[in-house]
């Protein structure tokens, strides 16, 4: 499924926008779950060129989505009819006192450590959360009492509705539990974080503690997308799935992790359909036993 392949000049035109074209790329290679059919990826090295790329896609009447780190994403086996815009890593973090201007393309864990080296803490809990800063912002990623939204002071975004880059103050964004008020066609470009000053050693202690907890309770060495379902208010989804005896349950190559029941892992060359079936099974069992409807935490791109 390559939307852009019909026109041989596509590669050159995208290069003129500062973008690299990867036609029909199997998304299993770009997601931590390791599943998903093909789609065209367009990689942008310099996010300042995004308006040019968006204009190119608009002229061609092409639909698009943004691919971040692919670590909280389940893509269907059939692949996707949209072009996937990917902001390439490499732009630097800029520091000014206790503020860090971080590109959305930056890796979250690397960002936590770069800030730590500048004696800027407050992000320790996020150390083991895989993925990009942009993805973490969109989902308001959190762990061990830290949510990224709490440190955000301003954001640069490309507003799909307006077709231009805007700076948003935090007051104009809602950061909730694994949910934000960004529109689907907002593309996050960079964020201004305000972080408390702390000695590096102290930050490192916090980081080590979170890493230990994560290693002890999550299957960090297997292919997963983190927690598959959100926790309903006051309840723990992992605990409910565990109590139902579903750990180790397998559909095709997808398995409910024995380490943490809200993690589904790709252990035997699973397909996306295996994961979707396993998710349905869990949803049904939890609904029947607890009367609770589980909400997906993983983003599912159904095409
Ligand atoms: N539990 C079980 N069995 C399990 C898993 C958990 O009994 O198989 C129990 C634990 O013993 C504990 C309770 O359930 O009493 C909560 O478990 P845990 O501390 O592992 O936290 P969680 O609520 O399952 C949340 C986030 C994680 C985050 C951790 C640590 C969600 C859906 N999950 O997990 O985030 O890393 O807290 O702060 O909010 C993610 O977002 O992808 C994610 C993994």
pLDDT single digits (tens) 105-135: 999 999 999 999 999 999 999 999 999 999 9
Rounded-to-integer distance, Cα 8 and Cα 124, Å:
47
Backbone angles phi, psi at 120, to 5 degrees: -115, 115
In ligand 1, which atom is closest to the CA atom of 143?
38
pLDDT for position 124:
97
Backbone angles phi, psi at 25, to 5 degrees: -80, 125
Rounded-to-integer distance, Cα 237 and Cα 256, Å:
12
pLDDT for position 6:
66
pLDDT for position 239:
98
pLDDT for position 103:
98
> Quick count: other Cβ atoms within 10 Å of Cβ 295?
13
Ligand 1 centroid from CA 1, angstroms:
37
pLDDT for position 11:
87
Q: What is the pLDDT along the chain (303 residues), one digit of tens a residue?
A: 566 776 778 889 899 999 999 999 999 999 999 999 999 999 999 999 999 999 999 999 999 999 999 999 999 999 999 999 999 999 999 999 999 999 999 999 999 999 999 999 999 999 999 999 999 999 999 999 999 999 999 999 999 999 999 999 998 999 999 999 999 999 999 999 999 999 999 999 999 999 999 999 999 999 999 999 999 999 999 999 999 999 999 999 999 999 999 999 999 999 999 999 999 999 999 999 999 999 999 999 997
Those residues with Cβ within 8 angstroms of residue 197's Cβ, 6 or more apart along the chain or in another chain: 98, 119, 120, 121
**Relative orientation angle of helices 108-117 and 200-217, to the nearest 10 degrees:** 150
Tokens linked to 194: 């305000």
By CB atoms closer than 10 A (0-12, 13-18, 19+), residue 244 is middle
In order, the DSSP letters of 138-207 are HHT-EETTEEGGGGEEEEEEEETTTTEEEEEEGGGS-EETTEE---TTEEEEEEEEE--B--HHHHHHHH
Q: What is the pLDDT of residues 225-274, one digit of tens each?
A: 999 999 999 999 999 999 999 999 999 999 999 999 999 999 999 999 99
Rounded-to-integer distance, Cα 272 and Cα 41, Å:
19
CB 131 less than 6 A from any atom of ligand 1: no
Q: Which helix (H) or strand (E) holds 85?
A: strand 83-87
Ligand 1 centroid from CA 84, angstroms:
31
By CB atoms closer than 10 A (0-12, 13-18, 19+), residue 216 is exposed
Angle at 18 between CA 17 and CA 21, to 5 degrees: 90
Task: Return the closest-CA partner of residue 133 out of 192, 195, 209.
Answer: 192
CB 226 less than 6 A from any atom of ligand 1: yes
Ligand 1 centroid from CA 14, angstroms:
42
Mean pLDDT of the chain: 96
CB 118 less than 6 A from any atom of ligand 1: no
pLDDT for position 3:
67
DSSP 263: B
Ligand 1 centroid from CA 168, angstroms:
32
The torsion defined by the Cα of 176, 179, 182 and 183, in degrees rounded to 10, comes to -140
DSSP 109: H
Tokens linked to 222: 């297997």
Rounded-to-integer distance, Cα 150 and Cα 142, Å:
10
């Amino acid at each position: 499924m390559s939307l852009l392949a019909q026109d041989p000049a596509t590669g050159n035109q995208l290069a003129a926008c500062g973008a690299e074209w990867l036609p029909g790329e199997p998304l299993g290679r770009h997601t931590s779950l390791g599943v998903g059919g093909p789609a065209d990826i367009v990689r942008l090295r310099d996010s300042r060129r995004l308006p040019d790329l968006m204009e190119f896609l608009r002229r061609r009447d092409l639909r698009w989505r943004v691919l971040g780190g692919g670590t909280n994403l389940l893509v269907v086996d059939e692949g996707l009819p949209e072009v996937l815009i990917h902001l390439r890593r490499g732009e630097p973090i800029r520091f000014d006192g206790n503020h860090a201007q971080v590109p959305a393309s930056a890796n979250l864990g690397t960002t936590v450590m770069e800030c730590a080296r500048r004696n800027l803490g407050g992000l320790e809990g996020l150390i083991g959360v895989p993925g990009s800063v942009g993805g973490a912002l969109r989902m308001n990623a959190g762990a061990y009492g830290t949510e990224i939204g709490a440190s955000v002071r301003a954001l640069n975004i490309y507003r799909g509705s307006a077709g231009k880059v805007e700076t948003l103050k935090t007051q104009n964004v809602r950061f909730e539990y694994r949910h934000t008020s960004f529109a689907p066609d907002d593309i996050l470009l960079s964020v201004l974080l305000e972080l408390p000053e702390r000695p590096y050693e102290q930050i490192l202690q916090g980081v080590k503690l979170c890493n230990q907890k994560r290693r002890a309770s999550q299957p960090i060495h297997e292919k997963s997308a983190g927690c598959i379902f959100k926790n309903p208010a006051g309840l723990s989804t992992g605990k409910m799935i565990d109590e139902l005896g579903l750990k180790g349950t397998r559909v095709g190559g997808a398995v409910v992790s024995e380490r943490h029941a809200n993690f589904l892992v790709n252990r035997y060359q699973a397909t996306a359909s295996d994961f979707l079936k396993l998710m349905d099974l869990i949803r049904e069992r939890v609904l029947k036993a607890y009367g609770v409807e589980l909400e997906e935490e993983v983003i599912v791109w159904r095409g």
